[in-house]
Amino acid sequence: MPVDRYDAASFAPVIAGRSRPARLASEKAAVAEICARVAEEGDAALRELGLRFDGWAPRDGETFEVSKAELERAADRLDGADRAALEFAAQRIRNFHSRQLEPEFRGEGGLNIRTRPVRRAGVYAPGGRAPYPSTVLMTAIPARVAGVDELVLATPPRRDGTVPDAILAAAVIAQVDTVYRAGGAQAIAAMAYGTESIPRVDVVAGPGNIYVTLAKREVFGAVGVDGIAGPTEVLVLADASARADFVAADLAAQLEHDPLAWGVLVTDSAGLATRVEEELADLVRGLERAAIIREATCCVVVARDMAEAVRVVDEFAPEHLLVVAEDADGIAARVRNAGAIFVGPYATVPLGDYTAGPNHTLPTSGAARYSSPLGVHTFLKRTSVLSLGREDLVELREATVRLAALEGLGAHAHAVEVRLE
């Protein structure tokens, strides 16, 4: 298992390089063309692109939509224990996100912030290497908690036009209104612009491959997006007290997602670093997805002390941060930049991926420096309300008129003055 070792200084250029936008000229051009075609041609483009990329498009009598009857049949076909696990996770996700609902905020006088959900939201569940019913729960449930009126899901079909039962069952559990068999950049464009079959939404949320990510960037502005995701990543911040086999297990768990994934150990203990490298090599040999893990990026950073280690964490701004140390709570409290923080030896990241309750759709590639996990707020918008009378106009008149004059906007000043003549 290849593992690169650094000190804090030599790791800094690695962090900087990871945050630079990739040179993806051909992929960007291809995605721009796909989005433009869907915007202009609607279902015709969606059928041709679906056949090309997913191997399926609706024939005569078929539609992109999965029927309500098929949704219910899929939920019934799912193994009872699997259904129970999805229901258990859904309830915890719903309970956690319900606490994110924002109260109405009122300022002084007639000043207010009004919070309302978007009318229609679209969520995306990727296919590819595996189905991700957990992503359906993590994207759809916050939208429902927010009060979105209509919720649609797009997900890639198999070559026979079917969608995995686990995805459809999760859609039923999360109360998705409609599921569409469409994947990739063309699905994002369809939800952003609307076609004859797929309605235009106000917000698109959910992770995907590089083409999905580039499509979200391409359509942003025509529609809101939850964020621009990069490859998944985990950073473990640990001292000498950490168990090396626990640390290795969390690194492997995230690296098995994708050959582009990142797994990083930052520690003040060279001894722990060596033990983790050995444990990881032994562990990977027995894993089904060993080839993917070996392709991914795995690094060990040995810092002078935990203060320097925390600075490395904040520069990296990881998607997932696991803190395993004698003062794990205190150290975690000092971290500024992370998408989700897992504290203590038993807070393994897969708990957050599935059942703990907080969202697993998180900022990646350093975006945790300025952005937040997907949540109820993703589907809410705020409107300022100014209910002002004549006495407010008198109070605000002088400063408003002077500032309008300072900027050379005479009509602004007149709109104030005319009301007091």
Contact between 294 and 281 under an 8 Å Cβ cutoff? The reply is no
Q: Is 391 a catalytic residue?
A: no
Q: At what angle do helices 80-98 and 165-173 cross, to 10 degrees?
A: 40
Residues paired with residue 186 on neighbouring β-strands, in sequence order: none
The residue annotated as part of the active site, out of 233, 256, 257, 320, is: 320
CA distance linking residue 222 with residue 194, whole number of Å: 11
Give one DSSP letter per residue of 19-80, joined into a string. HSPP--HHHHHHHHHHHHHHHHHTHHHHHHHHHHHTS----TT--SEEPHHHHHHHHHHS-H
> What token pair was written down for 226?
């939850």
- Interacting residues of 215 by C-beta distance below 8 A, sequence separation 6+: 31, 34, 35, 184, 185, 186, 188, 189
Neighbours of 13 (CB within 10 A): 10
- Interacting residues of 163 by C-beta distance below 8 A, sequence separation 6+: 66, 74, 155, 157, 179, 181
Residues paired with residue 324 on neighbouring β-strands, in sequence order: 238
Cα dihedral 237→239→243→244 (10° resolution): 70
Residues paired with residue 203 on neighbouring β-strands, in sequence order: 121, 224
Closest CA to 322 of 307, 298, 341: 341
Q: Is 257 a catalytic residue?
A: no
The residue annotated as part of the active site, out of 218, 233, 256, 319, is: 319
Burial 139-167 (b: 16+ CB within 10 A, else e): bbbbbbbbebebbbbbbbbeeebebbbbb
Q: Which amino acid is at 264?
A: V
Neighbours of 202 (CB within 10 A): 19
Torsion 266-343-260-252 (CA) sign: positive
Give one DSSP letter per residue of 164-179, joined into a string. -HHHHHHHHHTT-SEE
CA distance linking residue 374 with residue 353, whole number of Å: 13
Residues designated as active site: 319-320
